[in-house]
A and B are shown apart, each in its own frame.
Chain A
């Protein structure tokens, strides 16, 4: 396959230095805090795994974790199919393609707190279009008071905000498929579904993998948008992990537990991403085998 060349390390070195500076040093600080009780800046007590034990038994954390997993799953289940569908519907060329691309991509480049603010206003029943329309249609919609409404509003906001990422990546993947593939499919009399299943989907593998992983990671760390929109409420209905962590670290200034929580949080994401990464890689290779066999 690729030639072995240890000198390639020299090319990777700048990245490693850069990321080590801004990732390993901070992580060491966190590990340091997670095993100590900081009573005053100059008085610290080593407490071993006490913080980890208390964090792992924290009922609020468990609830936040389950809410988080539910939310991330919902995000993936809605955004990935919707993004693929949207990419398939977008015009392939001409000024329409440019116009649609720009409109679709706009929501990605809005700062996250602005996204929260937009939806905060948009969903209000007195001054927002969405809220007013929903109550006009007779729904008892109130995202600041009702758990389900709040959760759904956060989800719809995320779909609005991030589906374009999936769509743009898939669109780029689709455009890279040579026309010859479609012609071959037409000669074979392949159905639309077959074209999608055996040509488009395998060819989008690379971009889809990036889309799925990015959406999973980012939805798992979602903080700013729900913070602005609902403030985690009503009650704790939309308090996800990052929000809970920030409450602990900055709000209550419990450094030890917050650091232990950070590490647990990080390990959860790492584990889930590792599973997802390998799963997609495997699914991708078996997809490639399918592709080979259809060509044969």
Chain B
């Protein structure tokens, strides 16, 4: 049972990894080429290797401030999402209360609302509050889809922790905050890591809301990229270099979370 499948398993895995890497390789390849080479011929690796596009990004504030802005609102969003979702997920996983199932599904419905639907009202809401073009506006807007997801995932992890642990701690005289912070939180460390990964991911990659709610001061990198494309024709090289750099923070985050994923989680009592 173990010997034979190993071959087709690795074959399939390698095929998939090729499929996963090729488009990325193509972008990396492009980011090191000169623009004439990109548009002129099809080359499998850069003939004239250049770092000019990266140089443009690191020296032009319009470019690198985009990365900083994105990182700021993604960080704010992840922190707020986790802070409000943790107690709520605990409540959903441990207690029954009036309307618990309805509130849970209502939360999920917000994850289901297309950002396109929120576009106009958000614009008006944040304009009237004077929050337009601030990091906090984007962070708050992204809460709509990240908080429900965070509650959902954390609830799954918390349900996997036996309730006897809570009861023993309360009998031992722990108060709720002390129990939660010193005993419970370390037990669901993996869940917090995975949830933070998802919050980071969905906030980092979102374009529509982030672009609508910002203009200059908090303009995210994703918006910088679209606007440069339309303004300066097609500067493929810089675009590719910027694209490559958008993958870096994500890559770092995965590196930290991979342990938790590799250790496994089942979500809930299965």
**What is A's interface to B at a CB cutoff of 8 Å?**
1-9, 11-12, 14-16, 18-19, 21-23, 25-27, 29-30, 33, 85-86, 88-91, 93, 97-98, 100-114, 117-119, 121-122, 126-130, 132, 160, 164, 168, 171-177, 186, 192, 202-207, 209-210, 213-214, 217, 220-221, 223-224, 228, 241-242, 245-246, 249-250, 255, 258-259, 262, 265-266, 269-270, 273-274, 277, 288
Contacts and interface: CB of A to CB of B under 8 A. Distances in A.
A117 B147 contact: no
A33 B88 CA distance: 33
A176 B264 contact: yes
Contacts, number: 302
Given A106-B254, A173-B266, A269 B112 contact: yes
A110 B205 contact: yes
State the main secondary structure of chain B at its contact with A.
helix
> Which of B103, B119, B148, B255 neighbours the largest number of chain A CB atoms within 10 Å of its CB?
B119
B124 interface: yes
Interface of B: 1, 5, 9-10, 12-13, 16-17, 19-24, 26-27, 30, 38-39, 42, 44, 80, 83-85, 87-88, 90-92, 94-98, 100, 103, 105, 107-122, 124-125, 140-141, 143-144, 147-149, 151-153, 156, 194, 200-201, 204-208, 221-222, 225-226, 229, 236, 239-240, 242-243, 246-247, 249-251, 253-255, 258, 260-268, 270
A176 B265 contact: yes
Contacts of B88: 11-12, 14-15
Nearest to A224: B207
Contact of B207 (A103, A111, A127, A202): A111
A239 B72 CA distance: 33
State the main secondary structure of chain A at its contact with B.
helix
A290 B21 CA distance: 39
A228 B258 CA distance: 30
Contacts of B109: 270, 273
B124 A9 contact: no
A218 B157 CA distance: 23
B252 to A, nearest CB: 9
